[in-house]
Structure 1
Amino acid sequence: MKTRRLFRGAAAATCGALLLAGCSAGNPGTSSATAGPVTTTWPDPGAGLQGVTLTLWMSTQTAAMADNVIKSFEAKTGAKINKVVIPDVYETNAPTKLATGAKPDLATWQPTGSMLALLKPSTALQSLDGAPWLAKQTPAIQKLGLVNGHHYAAFVNVPSVLGVFYNKSVFQKAGITSPPKNFNELLADAQKIKAKGVAPFFGAAGDQWPTQWWPQVLLAEASKKGLWERVSQNKEKFTDPEILGAVRQFQDMVKQGLFNKDDKTSKYTESGPALLKGEAAMVLQLTSFASLMQSTADTATIDREIGWFPISKDGNIATSVPGGDNALVAFKTGDPKREAGARQFLRFWLETYYPDYVKAAGTVSIEPAVPTPPGVPEVVKQATAALDDAAGSMQQNAAVNPDFYVNLANMVNGTMTPEQVTSTTQSQFAQLAQALGIQGF
């Protein structure tokens, strides 16, 4: 698996930049040049495109992801793909370029409700409803990348889910013979591990962003019951008992010493080696955490030493968090030939070239007819299977994405209380929602 990165922040800056962008008129299912509905055509993936140049924006982390696809597409069609790598932070700098009037034909983008909403998809993006590849993908994927019932994201990689990676030997030495069946059992196991002198969990508050996962898994059941939709309608707040209770639970875990002693300063990159060495028993992370472990261990070692299970407050529900390398969006540029060319490129990637792409990437296939190649760790396969019943994360289901993780990291460092974390996050959420004109704010 290639190293993957989740878009993690700069929400206010992103929103502000996008509000300055002049989005073209149009609606889902209509062209950018007409006001009436038109039938979207899906050009043959190998059709000739001589003289057509498509611009593709990518982040530094996804810069090489499409290289082989591009090379093959250009050779087959005669088209030219102008790949533009936007420097970090992509989720801030890409919208800033859009605000200047620049517009690509295609771009990698985090396919969550909050991030897609920032692009004003009904006017700025091509609707991908009816795309030929959709029916070939797993049902779980077909339900993602939607805004107001319309598809705007073309998934090329399987989305990450949140779950617990654990060291099998540490569990065995602590007398734990099976994964916990709910959060209370998880905490009981953590105490057994702590009694053996091992850190139950490896945090990485020095990087801030991993802190947000603990409250989110505690909210999985609530998410399935519409929590983030209610928050997006201003019918429920971060300061209300549900989310506040999850934040308090996380703080209790920190106070009980269930994390590594250097949690306040430790980094994400340290968590993989710590788990493999048994210096920590568990890491709550995205599926892409396996890529970090693969940088220091082979698949056989990971399969032998590391297990995985989903966790939630009352059971074993995973939480879905699509990342920035999972999908592409196609922009409305006003040029029908280029817009059709963008759709053709997506078809080529997800139909003609997809078996080769999956094999080269060494990743789980999101098309049942295309086999997952050898060498993918078992924990990745298990996490992918959990996607079918996963709850949506805040990033996936909420209308906007506040800097929840920054406030939680401050709490870990002792500078904010749970009440201050939720109050500040609610204020940020409302500010972003107001800026986007979301009703109820």
Structure 2
Amino acid sequence: MNSIRLKLIIFAVLTALLIPACTSTTPSAPTASQPTPASGESAPQPTTAPASTERKVVVNWWHISTAEDHKALWQQFADEYMATHPNVDIQITVLENEAFKSKLTTVMQSGEPPDIFQSWGGGVMIEYAKAGLLKDITPDLDADNGAWRATFSPGALGVYAYEGKNYDVPWDMGMVGIWYNKALFEQAGITSPPKTWNEFLEAVRKLKAAGITPIALGAGDKWPAMFWWAYLAVRLGGQEAFEKAYSREGSFTDAPFVEAGKKLLELNRLEPFQDGFLSATYGDQATIMGNGKAAMELMGQWAPGVQKDNSPDKQGIGENLGWFPFPIVEGGAGDPGDAFGGGNGFAIGKNASPEAIDFVKYLTGKAQQTRLAQIGIALPVVKGAEEGIEDPLLRVIQSSASVAPYFQLYYDQALPPAVGSVVNDSVQALLAGAMTPEQATQAIEDSVAQELR
């Protein structure tokens, strides 16, 4: 590849890495003791080495799990693998999130990526793939009649693919949904969570009539507001609408995206959010929910932890907390099971050895995924590993995410960084009355046309 083009692509990706992801406010998973195999069970065994043990191989692995128990378990996985593969030396670099992004950009500019490293998929991954910095591991996923591929939930695996090829694999995946206060629902006479958009609007009306703030929203941080518009677009247009708009066969001014804006304004006219929501932060949103001052918030699987941290007694609303998936929009083209969210994955550098790929197979095996879930690192994406999840609400989310036929990655990660910013700005302006749905989608389309031309 032309060196000038490579530098231009890396410069674009640098911008992406410096923009915080939607989940940057996610708290670290709670510290827990490292799980050990149950009585009578043997420790999970690594896979068979794909190459001669006489060939010495160094595998460079960068990850961002900085909590002590998390680091210890990742190290244990590496030690287990090396014990049965004495020719492999796994060298681990642990970096804090922002430090990782900065250092990765530097090594990518040199054209020498690590063998295995943290990835969130989406636009940044695509730019690296276009620059030839990642290895196509589709043949590895499809080997042995697709044995490795079959272990993953298809929606999660699709987030780490581009033009039918996988350069990364997921190791956890969560989805956004509606967290609600059961006590406030009961107070308003709502007997069950709404399943459709019209039912949802009726629930908002009942909450308002009971003097309860229906929804907490930190629109000052923009991305929490974007969640509402994006999820409506998923329900209205499904996979086809987004992929057409992204591939430039269609447009972000197409009907599902405009209609998503109209539906959001339909909700906004009911005045469902707390006073000052346009300038409120996500921390404010979590505080209102954690203090029992609002009935709902639309947020990812990390929400209970943030609610607890922002409540006076650090307990949140306890057993009154419930969860339900985003309502189905009547007449929408999206599959009712489609999900919106994101997670973490492993990218494979262009020079990665077969041993590096085999080690990633080990890391994403059921036994290892179960052990990660046990200490709260991950909502696993490998079938059967959900047995390690103890929280019943997280089990519900994992179950919903694992069967999603389509998984829409957060727009600020799925799209180029500049576009993600325009999406966030436009949705905030829509709620503020400064833009119409048509104007908001036109601004997004103009940015996409510039960035993806």
Q: Fold conserved (TM > 0.5)?
A: yes
Q: Tell me the alpha carbon deviations over residues 241-276 of structure 1, each in whole angstroms, 9 at most, x when there is no partner.
A: 321221233234334321111212222233334224
Structure 1 unaligned runs (5+)? Answer: 1-12, 21-41, 435-441
1:385 alignment partner AA: S
| Shift in Å, 1:365 | 3.7
Q: Tell me the alpha carbon deviations over residues 328-372 of structure 1, each in whole angstroms, 9 at most, x when there is no partner.
A: 111112xxxx52232132123122633322222364443334352
- 1:151 equivalent in structure 2: 166
- 2:91 equivalent in structure 1: 81
Task: With the length of structure 1 as denominator, give the TM-score of the two structures.
Answer: 0.76
Q: 1:306 to 1:264 in 2, by over 3 A?
A: same
1:146 alignment partner AA: A
| Contact persistence 1:312–1:318 (CA under 8 A) | no
| Contact persistence 2:252–2:441 (CA under 8 A) | yes
Question: Which moved further from structure 2: 139-148 or 221-230?
Answer: 139-148
- 2:350 equivalent in structure 1: 332
| Contact persistence 2:81–2:359 (CA under 8 A) | no
| Contact persistence 1:199–1:258 (CA under 8 A) | yes
SS at match of 2:275: coil
Question: How many Å separate the matches in 2 of 1:433 and 1:346?
Answer: 32
1:81 alignment partner AA: Q
- 1:57 equivalent in structure 2: 62
Task: With the length of structure 2 as denominator, give the TM-score of the two structures.
Answer: 0.74
- 2:132 equivalent in structure 1: 123
Higher helix share: 2
| Contact persistence 1:217–1:312 (CA under 8 A) | no
- 1:70 equivalent in structure 2: 75
Q: Tell me the alpha carbon deviations over residues 193-227 of structure 1, each in whole angstroms, 9 at most, x when there is no partner.
A: 11222211111112111111111222224433610
Question: How many Å separate the matches in 2 of 1:302 and 1:367?
Answer: 29
Q: Tell me the alpha carbon deviations over residues 143-194 of structure 1, each in whole angstroms, 9 at most, x when there is no partner.
A: 542222222222211x222221111111111111122221122111101111
2:382 corresponds, among 339, 352, 367, to 367
- 1:207 equivalent in structure 2: 221
- 2:196 equivalent in structure 1: 182
- 1:101 equivalent in structure 2: 111
Alignment of 1:132-151 (within 5 A): 133-151=148-166
- 2:31 equivalent in structure 1: none
Q: 1:415 to 1:300 in 2, by over 3 A?
A: closer
Question: How many Å separate the matches in 1 of 2:92 and 2:54?
Answer: 14
- Residue 317 of structure 2 corresponds to residue 309 of structure 1: no
- Residue 427 of structure 2 corresponds to residue 427 of structure 1: no
- Residue 282 of structure 2 corresponds to residue 264 of structure 1: no
Higher relative contact order (CA 8 A, sep 6+): 1
Question: How many Å separate the matches in 2 of 1:202 and 1:75?
Answer: 46
Alignment of 1:249-398 (within 5 A): 249-293=263-307, 295=309, 302-314=318-330, 317=336, 319-323=338-342, 325-333=343-351, 338-351=352-365, 353-361=368-376, 363-373=378-388, 375-376=390-391, 378-387=392-401, 388-389=403-404, 391-393=406-408, 395=410
Question: How many Å separate the matches in 2 of 1:117 and 1:311?
Answer: 31
| Contact persistence 2:10–2:108 (CA under 8 A) | no
| Contact persistence 1:299–1:375 (CA under 8 A) | no
| Contact persistence 2:185–2:191 (CA under 8 A) | yes
1:135 alignment partner AA: A
Question: How many Å separate the matches in 2 of 1:162 and 1:190?
Answer: 19
Query: How many residues matched?
Result: 393
Question: How many Å separate the matches in 2 of 1:279 and 1:120?
Answer: 46
Q: 1:138 to 1:263 in 2, by over 3 A?
A: same
Question: How many Å separate the matches in 1 of 2:50 and 2:71?
Answer: 16
Question: How many Å separate the matches in 2 of 1:312 and 1:361?
Answer: 30
Structure 2 unaligned runs (5+)? Answer: 1-7, 16-46, 142-146
Q: 1:322 to 1:195 in 2, by over 3 A?
A: closer
| Contact persistence 1:162–1:287 (CA under 8 A) | yes
1:246 corresponds, among 228, 252, 260, to 260
Across the aligned residues of Structure 1 and Structure 2, the Cα RMSD in angstroms comes to 3.7
1:207 alignment partner AA: D
Percent identity for Structure 1 against Structure 2? 18
